[in-house]
Amino acid sequence: MKLKHLSPLLLSFPIVCIAGGGHLVDERSKIAFDYDTVSSEVAQNELVECQQLATSTQSNVQDTTKGSGARGAAKGAAKGATVMAIAGESGSDGAKVGAAVGVVKGRRDSKKATQQAMANNEQQYATVLRNCMVDKKYVALN
């Protein structure tokens, strides 16, 4: 009978329950994290914090293709002229062919270097993000 008198009293006190558990996915690196001790709001805030830290480690990747054709042409022309001179022929034809090949090679090498620098940046971002989240007790799923 005394329980009837306690019921209204119990209902007047709010019950605090922290819902924990879930997963997050970083859209840039596609790394998924699992958590079970914090709310989704806290987890999202900590992910944003780690994303900002990871982004701050990025180096500027500049497009190095500008002028790469001219540099390649100069190198190719010098090589072509040298080869032709060794063969005992006029160096100007060899220089022209070498310059044409050098333009293509210079641009290709420059583009490859830019792509490699961008890939290195993305790998570094993923590593820093993963380490930051693991340090905060999240489990990286991939």
Provide the residue ranges of all domains of the chain, joining segments of one domain with +.
Answer: 18-140
What was the pLDDT predicted at 45?
97
Determine what percent of the chain is predicted with pLDDT higher than 90: 43
What was the pLDDT predicted at 136?
96
Mean pLDDT for all residues in the chain: 77
Q: How many CA atoms lie within 13 A of 78 on its CB side?
A: 5
- Report how far residue 47's alpha carbon sits from residue 136's, in angstroms, rounded to the nearest whole number: 10
Q: Which residue has the higher pLDDT, 45 or 17?
A: 45
- Report how far residue 33's alpha carbon sits from residue 142's, in angstroms, rounded to the nearest whole number: 8
What was the pLDDT predicted at 113?
87
63-112, pLDDT tens digit by residue? 665 665 566 656 655 665 555 555 555 556 666 666 666 667 777 777 88
What was the pLDDT predicted at 10?
45
- Report how far residue 139's alpha carbon sits from residue 33's, in angstroms, rounded to the nearest whole number: 5
- Report how far residue 119's alpha carbon sits from residue 124's, in angstroms, rounded to the nearest whole number: 9
Contacts with 107 (C-beta within 8 Å, 6 or more apart), sequence order: 65, 68, 69, 72
Amino acid at 21: G
Q: Which residue has the higher pLDDT, 137 or 9?
A: 137
Mean pLDDT score, 37-65: 90
Contacts with 50 (C-beta within 8 Å, 6 or more apart), sequence order: 128, 129, 132, 133, 136
Report how far Cα 102 is from the mean position of its chain's Cα atoms. 31
Q: Which residue has the higher pLDDT, 79 or 141?
A: 141
What was the pLDDT predicted at 72?
60
Query: And the tokens for 132?
Result: 């930051």
